Amino acid sequence: MTGSGISAESGVPTFRDAQTGLWANYRAEELATPQAFTDNPRLVWDWYCWRRELIHRAQPNAGHRALVTLAELKPELALITQNVDGLHQRAGNSNVVEFHGNIERDKCFACNRIPTGTPDTTERPPECETCGGLLRPDVVWFGEAIPTAALETAFRATDSCEVFLSVGTSALVYPAAGLAEAAASQGATIVEINTNSTPLTSVADYVLQGSAAYWLPAIAASVQTLTTH
């Protein structure tokens, strides 16, 4: 399970970092809600456009690449991410479980339809071709349900895993944070990689304090050595 900390070294700000520039007066938690979009759709749309631009400029880092190596060495690995930035897929992981959606897709706030192409308009946000509702990014906002397929796949993998790696997440947001707890309660070994401590730290069997871009390549190299010898 990864969180925004794994993309920090790619230049994508984490969710709970203080925002900078135009957005310094807002907290991410206040913009990522249905209520914020209802109150001020343009503000929320523009914030996501800014995040999309940052993501387009970003490249996967050594942490993302190490997870590609791990998936090759251990095809049974399930990669669940809370990130909406698509950097795991760009690094080369397939079958990524997108727990919180993907910022590249839009959907209609009113009818939930996903538009077929990029809307040819300068409206911010654009309107849905089908119902005239407003388009929003296809990400999970506070108070919204996790996509059913992602939720089921994530809990199925967690319920049968031997080792659960929690990477670069503050472990504050549920139900995502509940995955590590579910893994611990069925006896899995819990490994946390984080630059700081989190509510999971006291539960984890191993705490690797430091960056994902440092620890994940080290783990991948160890697994490679064990697999090939």
Site of interaction with ligand OAD (CB under 6 A): 3-5, 8-9, 14-16, 32, 82, 100, 140, 168-170, 172-173, 193-196, 198, 211-212
CB 216 within 8 A of CB 66: yes
Give the whole-angstrom CA distance, residue 162 versus residue 172.
Answer: 23
Is the CB of 126 or the CB of 168 nearer to ligand OAD?
Answer: 168
CB of 111 to ligand OAD, least distance (A): 21
Is the CB of 4 or the CB of 89 nearer to ligand OAD?
Answer: 4
Residue nearest to ligand OAD (CB): 5
CB of 72 to ligand OAD, least distance (A): 22
Instruction: List, by residue number, the catalytic residues.
Output: 100
CB 174 within 8 A of CB 200: no
* Amino acid at the residue 138: D
Give the whole-angstrom CA distance, residue 73 versus residue 131.
Answer: 47
Phi, psi angle pair for 54, to nearest 5°:
-60, -45
Is the CB of 69 or the CB of 194 nearer to ligand OAD?
Answer: 194
Give the whole-angstrom CA distance, residue 169 versus residue 196.
Answer: 10
